[in-house]
Amino acid sequence: MKQKKVIIIGASSGIGREMALLYVERGYKVGITGRRQNLLNELREPYPLQVTVACFDVMGLDNEKHFRQLLFELGGLDLLIYNSGYGDVSKELNWQIENTTTKTNVNGFVEIINHAFNYFVNHGYGQIGIISSISALRGNSWAPAYSASKAFMSNYAEGLNIKARRMKKNIIVTDIRPGFIDTKMAKGNERFWIAPAAKAARQIVSAIERKKRVVYITKRWWFIAQLLKILPYFIYRRLA
């Protein structure tokens, strides 16, 4: 049986690291990326024959080079997961925060997903997992670029699913919308339903295996999503 290959963009810690370990357990060849070489090396060390590392920042100029190198070292690709992300509270609309958020969650995201999608088009099949957020559903005054960039990711995922269908290609794109996960990315004092990264990773991997188009992580956040969709603006604006 052919050994499957996955690339996880943003796997040095948190959900990405936990997903990488799950795919190693499932026998995949795993390509991992991140900005911290030491953490990537720690993850690879126990699995030198299964794990391939590429240390780079998605805001850089060499995304395609690193993607192609991982493809070469893995010997192909079946699944790409874009987990790299940035977000911070921007109370005073801090340009540095907004700029970094946009370059990571929009520019870097689009470039890498574009390379992956076209690779899958040329090979006739493939899967893409996109770690968006429940924040994609509405705007947020505390982190405007974050919620907007996550909405971009979700809409892009939907567009790619439609495009793949029109092209008659067996390509599935899963839009993964987490709530609060116990990672450094989770900020704010009024957090609830905080899930461990390992639990979130298990549910994400399961959703990808089931070829889901949209999934909320953890599952209970589906109810919050339905509320956010129907909540009138004059009420929502007091909360966001």
| Long-range Cβ contacts of 221-228 (<8 Å, 24+ apart) | 221/134, 221/177, 221/178, 221/179, 221/193, 224/134, 224/179, 225/134, 225/137, 225/177, 228/134, 228/137, 228/138
| Omega of the bond leading into 218 within 30 degrees of 0 (cis) | yes
Confidence (pLDDT) at 193: 73
Q: Where are the domains of the chain?
A: 5-239
- Region for 126 from its dihedrals, namely left if φ exceeds 0, alpha if ψ lies in -120 to 50, beta otherwise: left
Residue 55 contacts residue 34 (beta carbons within 8 Å):
yes
Residue 15 contacts residue 23 (beta carbons within 8 Å):
no
CATH number for 5-239 (one of 3.40.50.720, 3.40.50.1820, 3.30.750.24, 3.40.50.170): it is 3.40.50.720
* CB proximity list for 144: less than 8 A, separation 6 or greater: 90, 93, 98
Predicted model pTM: 0.92
CA dihedral 192, 230, 131, 2 (to 10 degrees): 120
Cβ burial of 165 (10 Å; 0-12, 13-18, 19+) is exposed
Q: Which amino acid is at 47?
A: Y
> Which helix (H) or strand (E) element contains residue 41?
helix 37-44
Confidence (pLDDT) at 192: 64
Distance CA 178, CA 129 (A): 13
Phi/psi of residue 54, nearest 5 degrees = -140, 115
Q: Where are the beta strands (DSSP E) in 90-205?
A: 125-131, 170-178
Average pLDDT of each block of 10 consecutive residues along the chain (240 residues)?
92 95 96 95 95 92 92 96 92 93 96 97 96 94 95 97 96 95 61 83 96 94 91 86
Cα within 13 Å of Cα(117), Cβ side: 22
